[in-house]
A and B are shown apart, each in its own frame.
Chain A
Amino acid sequence: MPVFDLSVTPLREFNQALHDIKDGANDTAFEVVNPRGHHSVAVGIDAPVSVEVKGSVGYYCAGMNDGGTVTVHGSAGPGVAENMMSGTVVIEGDASQYAGATGRGGLLVIKGNAASRCGISMKGIDIVVHGSIGHMSAFMAQSGNLVVLGDAGDALGDSLYEARLFVRGSVKSLGADCIEKEMRPEHIEALGALLEKAGVSDAKPEDFKRYGSARTLYTFNIDNADAY
Chain B
Amino acid sequence: MCGIVGLFLKDKALEPQLGALLSDMLITMTDRGPDSAGIAIYGGAANGDAKITVQSANPEQDFAGLQDKIEDASGGTAKVEIKSTHAVITLATDKLDAVRAALSTIAPTLRVMGAGESVEIYKEVGLPKDVVNRFGVRAMGGTHGIGHTRMATESAVTTLGAHPFSTGADQCLVHNGSLSNHNNLRRELKKRGLRFETENDSEVAAAYLTAEMDTGKDLGQALEGALDDLDGFFTFVVGTKSGFGVVRDPIACKPAVMAETDQYVAFGSEYRALVNLPGIETARVWEPEPATVYFWDHEKAAA
Contact = CB atoms under 8 A, between A and B. Distances in A.
Please say whether the chains A and B touch (CB closer than 8 A): yes
B285 interface: yes
B296 interface: no
A46 B287 CA distance: 31
A134 B250 CA distance: 13
A116 interface: yes
Contacts of B28: 37
B255 interface: yes
Given A37-B271, A58-B270, A116-B252, A96 B290 contact: no
A135 B253 CA distance: 11
Contacts of B57: none
Contact of B287 (A37, A38, A97): A97
Contacts, number: 45
A56 B271 contact: yes
Interface in B202-232: none
Contact of B255 (A38, A75, A96, A154): A96
A36 interface: yes
A62 B226 CA distance: 37
Contact of B271 (A96, A116, A134, A153): A96
Interface string B262-303: 000000001111010000000001110110000000000000
B257 interface: yes
Interface in A120-153: 134-135, 153
Of A38, A56, A59, A113, chain B has the most CB atoms within 10 Å of the CB of A56
Nearest to A154: B290
Contacts of A56: 271-272, 275
Interface in B45-77: none
A95 B23 CA distance: 26
Contacts of B272: 36-38, 56, 58, 77
A115 interface: yes
A92 interface: no
A37 B257 CA distance: 12
A14 B287 CA distance: 29
B258 to A, nearest CB: 11
Interface string A95-117: 01100000000000000010110
A94 interface: yes
Contacts of A78: 255
Contact of A97 (B255, B273, B275, B285): B255
A77 B270 contact: yes
Interface residues of A, number: 20
Nearest to A115: B287
A37 B152 CA distance: 24
A60 to B, nearest CB: 12
Given A37-B270, A116-B252, A96 B275 contact: no
Interface string A57-69: 0110000000000
Nearest to A76: B271
A36 B287 contact: no
Nearest to B31: A39
A58 B289 contact: no
A116 B270 contact: no
A115 B271 CA distance: 13
A75 B271 contact: yes
Nearest to A34: B275
Contacts of B289: 134-135, 153
Given A96-B257, A116-B252, A134 B275 contact: no
B287 A116 contact: yes
A77 B253 CA distance: 13
A36 B275 contact: yes
A58 B271 contact: yes
23 contacts: A36-B272, A37-B28, A37-B270, A37-B273, A37-B275, A38-B272, A56-B271, A58-B270, A58-B272, A59-B270, A75-B271, A77-B255, A77-B271, A94-B286, A96-B257, A97-B253, A113-B286, A116-B252, A116-B287, A134-B287, A134-B289, A135-B252, A135-B290
Given A37-B272, A58-B270, 11 more contacts: A36-B272, A56-B271, A56-B275, A58-B271, A58-B272, A96-B271, A97-B255, A115-B287, A116-B290, A134-B287, A135-B290
Interface of B: 28, 252-253, 255, 257, 270-273, 275, 285-287, 289-290
